[in-house]
């Protein structure tokens, strides 16, 4: 059957009484939304269960069965009841913060060197940076343990921090490099023409533009560090972090305080995401329309 456009081109009469043809609906339009919903549920259902059991009121230390709602675990006195758990939390935060600061600084410098300069061994360095990301954590943990033992370094918080810095630098370089690769170096030249020295040009022009990539890399390193178990278990010695404590406590029962601390850490990350989205939308609302000054 000829369409309306073809009839007009052929100058054929059009039947005004014929019902208009409805566009065919794309089949399987529900497939992508359904798949996305399943993936989101797979990611967030365990977190929702963790949050839920932070309000559970178990009779003993086992917190695997719902027995009643309570808010007592959010009381600071009850939350900090286990001193060894508090020490593990402090150790985890110390390791995560220190390793994040050092790995982010070193990784950012490496990313800038790889994108701004050409030097001998640059390709080999690019390849070597992906090895820690591609290697199993067991291999990295055993290798670092052998290194520390061979040079007589006592295992503890220092070795954990060194190990976390080692495997985190690669993630920082990849994340920041994605930001610096599209950086317009003419902006730095313009700053130099206006009288800025290289150091001033970096802090006033380069750093603000690549800061979102640096911040994203830092948050990624913090998340990887605070929940790492495999590499930490090989290089911890007598030190204990939250993952190590939870694994040891799981044999006799994980108290609700663990769920509460996990909920608080998750809430901090969620708060940052909400603030970032709010600031982004506010910046878009204040930005002038395209094509207008």
Residue spans of the domains in the chain: they are 29-81+255-279, 82-253
> Per-residue pLDDT tens for 52-72?
988 888 876 677 778 888 888
User: Higher model confidence: residue 291 or residue 198?
Assistant: 198
User: Over pLDDT 90: what percentage of the chain?
Assistant: 22
**82-253: which CATH architecture?**
Orthogonal Bundle (1.10)
> Per-residue pLDDT tens for 129-139?
888 888 888 99
Half-sphere exposure of 218 (CA within 13 A, CB side): 15
> Per-residue pLDDT tens for 222-265?
989 988 999 999 998 888 998 898 888 877 777 888 888 888 88
């Amino acid at each position: 059957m000829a369409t309306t456009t073809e009839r007009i081109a052929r100058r054929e009469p059009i039947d005004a009484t014929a019902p208009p043809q409805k566009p065919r609906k794309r089949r399987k339009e529900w497939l992508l939304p359904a798949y996305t919903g399943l993936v989101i549920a797979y990611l967030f259902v365990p977190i929702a269960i963790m949050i839920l059991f932070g309000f559970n009121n178990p009779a003993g230390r086992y917190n695997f069965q719902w027995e009643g709602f309570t808010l007592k675990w959010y009381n600071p006195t009850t939350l900090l009841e286990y001193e060894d758990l508090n020490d593990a939390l402090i150790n985890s935060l110390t390791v995560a913060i220190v390793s994040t600061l050092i790995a982010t600084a070193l990784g950012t410098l490496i990313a800038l060197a790889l994108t701004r300069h050409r030097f001998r061994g640059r390709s080999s360095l690019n390849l070597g940076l992906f090895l820690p990301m591609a290697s199993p954590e067991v291999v990295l943990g055993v290798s670092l343990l052998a290194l520390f033992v061979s040079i007589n370094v006592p295992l503890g918080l220092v070795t954990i921090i060194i190990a976390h810095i080692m495997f985190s630098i690669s993630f920082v370089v990849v994340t920041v490099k994605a930001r610096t690769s599209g950086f317009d170096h003419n902006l730095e030249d313009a700053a130099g023409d206006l009288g800025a020295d290289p150091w001033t040009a970096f802090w006033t022009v380069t750093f603000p533009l690549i800061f979102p990539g640096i911040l994203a890399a830092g948050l990624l390193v913090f998340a990887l560090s605070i929940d790492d178990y495999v590499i930490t278990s090989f290089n911890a010695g007598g030190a204990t972090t939250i993952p190590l404590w939870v694994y040891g406590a799981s044999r006799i029962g994980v108290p609700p305080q663990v769920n509460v601390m996990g909920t608080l850490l998750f809430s901090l990350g969620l708060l940052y995401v909400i603030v970032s989205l709010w600031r982004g939308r506010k910046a878009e609302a204040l930005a002038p329309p395209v094509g207008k000054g």
